[in-house]
Chains A and B, each alone.
Chain A
Amino acid sequence: MSSTIPVTIDFSGGAEFLVKAKVQKVQIPEESTLRDVLKFVRDNLVTDVHRINMLLNDDASEVAHGVITLINDTDTGLLSEYDTVIEAGDTITFVSTLHGG
């Protein structure tokens, strides 16, 4: 049986309306990449499935346009993007960008 690691997943800028709680502590499989986390979020955390396209694309292979993903407050564009391997204790953040003013 494969083991799991604890991570924190949080949602900001409006993405939190699609899930049960803004900050969630969860267990994900070891060696998961960010891409695996997207599918984990779709399958386990999103409660408002009708608006999931605000957060993820159709097959949950990428985030929706206008969403930034962070690992420990660093843009994943500075890491290995979707191939970044998640480590125990990491915080993965989904930031929806705001447009109002």
Chain B
Amino acid sequence: MSDNDWVAGISKKDAGRYSRQLLVDDFGVSGQKNLKNSRVLIVGAGGLGCPVATYLGAAGVGTLGIIDYDHISLDNLHRQVAYKEAQIGHSKAKGLADNIKLQNSDVNTVVHNVSLDSSNAMDIFKNYDIVCDCTDNVATRYLINDVCVLLNIPLVSGSALRWDGQISVYHYGPECPCYRCLFPSPPDPNSVTNCNEGGVLGPIVGTIGSMQALEVMKIAANVDSTLAGKLLLFDGREGKSRTIRLRKRDTKCAVCGDNPTITAPVDYVLFCGAGAHDKIENLKLLEPTDRLNVEEYRDIRGAQKQFLLDTRPPVEFEIAHLPEAINITLNECRSLTPHDLSSRLEVDSNTSDVYVICHRGNDSQRAVLLLREKLNSIRFRDIIGGYEEWALKINDKFPLY
């Protein structure tokens, strides 16, 4: 009897390692082999990218590329669960690839420690079969979409904010729309809230990222019934999800239509009017005479108790505030009458100065513009850089977030 007296669909090593998913109907040996032959690119190694990479690595994907230019920070860890405390300050793309390798040394990982833009996207994407959008901003979402269409790569797109998540598969099959079919024009940059401002819960990105990994496995294994042409809405607060049917590919779409006008990546920062990142931009809405820096405010509050208006949402006010601060949100500055504002601030006709503070010094400027119209006998000034600057320059014990 020969040693090879059987017919094997898969190596002994892989059969042992992946046995529990080989037993799943419609995945099986062929799904496993296809996954092993697949090259998957994850754009964004954050809250979504961590579970996508972790599950695909564990499941035995052949090649896993990871794009991210950012570094791991302490305030990432609550949701970016692949990272360890000891990795703070390290590159995300490399950190995630290292952890994948520790979990499954058979995965070929490729680290792209770059800021993705129009100049490098085509060269990177062309080496992959499936792309996952795990990014945090609108400009990069359009860039990824266009490059996937141009190179004919299916795109598994996830997003999340606060208690909500959304996932869809774009450009997969002749009738499937792309991101641009749904959203030919980008949203007003002023109306976009990101995780830095709106917050997000870890299990929300965990849920959506896990579902993205599942969609990749279905596409790799040629299982039909993917989320192509559908959008799954997950409402974690209500514990509900629903899947809606999306419109078909728009034959007039600028990139995937029958006569496309976009035949190479364009300038997405220009197109969206917003940077390709989720960082907060520093506004300058006021004259220098209507602003003061944190050192100046420290000195005047040391001399005498001041009126300080704090425009942050109550959840942020609750994290920490200066003891003299009175919480009146930017929206309340808009909607309250002058009389109600005065009584909330506890100012009277003798009050000459009120200082305005917020998280980083943008909303406080917006508030000054509103407040000086309503209470014109008072001089309102904003504190440049807000509590973030206060923590940096005046008191490093102040809880930053």
Contact = CB atoms under 8 A, between A and B. Distances in A.
Contacts of A100: 136, 159-161, 193-195, 198, 200, 278
A78 to B, nearest CB: 5
A75 B247 contact: yes
B322 to A, nearest CB: 27
B138 A99 contact: yes
A99 B278 CA distance: 9
Nearest to B185: A65
Contacts of A54: 188, 191
Size class of A's contact patch? 20 to 34
Interface stretch (A1-9, A28-36, A45-53): A45-53
Nearest to B334: A50
B375 interface: no
Contact of B48 (A66, A74, A78, A101): A101
B205 A78 contact: no
A95 interface: yes
Interface string A76-101: 01100000000000000001011111
B362 interface: no
Given A73-B242, A75-B247, A97 B191 contact: no
A75 B136 contact: no
Nearest to B177: A77
Contacts of A64: 187-188, 191
B182 A68 contact: yes
A24 interface: no
Contacts of A37: none
A94 B120 CA distance: 36
B177 to A, nearest CB: 9
Contact of A99 (B159, B205, B243, B335): B159
B145 interface: no
Interface of B: 44, 46-49, 133-138, 141, 158-162, 164-166, 182-183, 185-188, 190-195, 198, 200, 205, 231, 233, 235, 242-248, 278, 331, 334-335
Given A75-B231, A100-B278, A101-B133, 16 more contacts: A12-B164, A12-B233, A12-B235, A13-B161, A66-B186, A68-B246, A73-B242, A73-B243, A78-B247, A95-B166, A95-B233, A97-B166, A99-B192, A100-B136, A100-B195, A101-B159
Interface of A: 12-14, 48, 50-51, 53-54, 64-66, 68, 70, 73-75, 77-78, 95, 97-101
